[in-house]
Amino acid sequence: MSTTRDTPDDSTYLARAWAARGARAPLAPLQIARRAPMPRDVQIEILYCGVCHSDLHYTHDDWHDTLPATYPAVPGHEVVGRVTAVGAEVTAHAVGDLVGVGCLVDSDRSCPICRAGRENFCPGQVLTYGSPDRHGTAPVTYGGYSSSVVVDEHFVLRVPRNLDLAGAAPLLCAGITTYSPLKRAGVGPGSKVGIVGLGGLGHMAVKLARAFGANVVVLTTSPRKADDARRLGAHEVIVSTDAAAMAAHAGSFDFILDTVSAEHDINSILALLKLDADLTLVGAPARPLALSSFALILGNRSVSGSAIGNIRETQEMLDFCGRHGITADVEVIPMQQVNEAWQRLERGEVKYRFVIDMASLKAD
């Protein structure tokens, strides 16, 4: 089937979604408008959507100064689903394909950054939720806590057929956000890599770093996660509040990836790096972290940041996960339990990603 239209406002349709009407309001059902597919669009029936801590940060307006929330807010950027219609000019996807959508649904496409294939840094990027909607279908884009979505084909990824679909959903954000910096840092056989925080991103980082062949060490504040960390692929676990254990590893890491969602002491973690080595932050706490100059100066160390990944490397990551059989460890929930799941995520009670089964929306 092929569905096309000429103008952006001559056709929309209604989709089911769950939305927050305010920073502290619970998520509740809402019907939202989606555009009917335009020539380069892919319409997707959403089957599963992961719950990322960014969904909470955004909806609670934690990032007010950088990415202020607009309500109603429909979160969700770890989407997998089945193609239900394509525009006449779509070549990369066909009806029936299993596909994914991550944090980006559009970008400028013609600026130097996009031409360099780095859409995730484009100043004109359109995030899956909370960005101004260029098509005027809604004030801002609405995310994947929804029955369907329409996305330009460039931002639609192929999901390897051998992967469990619920487990594959978190690859679209947690997977690429950890794959990209680990790859860029060149981790592999012979490198000692620290993963700070064993949550959604952290547990994907452990699996990926292990698949890259690195010596993987988890730094956690939760001693009860030690067995899981080893099962997920860690060679060693350090409880970061144990000063003696931290001191025993001083100056020994080639690279550290920090996935922590809240304020924490990065200076004691930086002391674990070798000379000249780097700690990359992907966690995005609401408030700035305190950084001691000496933690960097005394070892010629650096701190850097990393934002998701570009579209080409997201497909590369999915294909890598397909070859290695890597998916997230998920707890699948119906949408009706999403508010409880958010509370559990805030308390650190998830092993290790909640994923919403969109079939449950039919019960609303």
Eight-class DSSP state of 224:
G
220 scored as a contact of Zn ion (CB under 5 A): no
The burial class, CB within 10 Å (0-12 / 13-18 / 19+), for 286 is: middle
Q: Three-class SS of residue 115?
A: helix
Among 52, 185, 205, 321, binds Zn ion (CB under 5 A): 52
Q: Three-class SS of residue 257?
A: strand
Among 34, 35, 57, 207, binds ligand NAP (CB under 6 A): 57
53 scored as a contact of ligand NAP (CB under 6 A): yes
**Which residue, 52 or 85, has its beta carbon nearer to Zn ion?**
52
102 scored as a contact of ligand NAP (CB under 6 A): no
126 scored as a contact of ligand NAP (CB under 6 A): no
Neighbours of 291 (CB within 10 A): 12
Q: Comparing C-alpha atoms, which of 244, 250, 246, 206 is closest to residue 225?
A: 206
201 scored as a contact of ligand NAP (CB under 6 A): yes
156 binds, among Zn ion, ligand NAP, none (CB under 5 to 8 A by kind): none
CB contact at 8 A, 187 and 254: yes
326 scored as a contact of ligand NAP (CB under 6 A): no
CB contact at 8 A, 79 and 168: no
CA dihedral 23, 27, 30, 32 (to 10 degrees): 60
Among 11, 84, 222, 315, binds ligand NAP (CB under 6 A): 222
260 scored as a contact of ligand NAP (CB under 6 A): yes
262 binds, among Zn ion, ligand NAP, none (CB under 5 to 8 A by kind): ligand NAP
CB contact at 8 A, 305 and 285: no
The full 3-state SS of 302-315, as one line of letters, equals EEEECCCCCHHHHH
225 scored as a contact of ligand NAP (CB under 6 A): yes
Smallest gap from Cβ 52 to ligand NAP, in A, equals: 5
Q: How many residues bind ligand NAP (CB under 6 A)?
A: 30
Record the tokens describing residue 142, joined without a space. 């609405």
205 scored as a contact of ligand NAP (CB under 6 A): no
Q: Comparing C-alpha atoms, which of 188, 164, 157, 99 is closest to residue 326?
A: 164
52 scored as a contact of ligand NAP (CB under 6 A): yes
| CA 134/CA 126 separation, integer angstroms | 8
173 scored as a contact of Zn ion (CB under 5 A): yes
272 scored as a contact of ligand NAP (CB under 6 A): no
**Which residues contact Zn ion (rule: CB under 5 A)?**
52, 54, 173
**Which residues contact ligand NAP (rule: CB under 6 A)?**
52-54, 57, 173, 177, 197-202, 220-222, 225, 259-262, 264, 282-285, 306-308, 345, 348
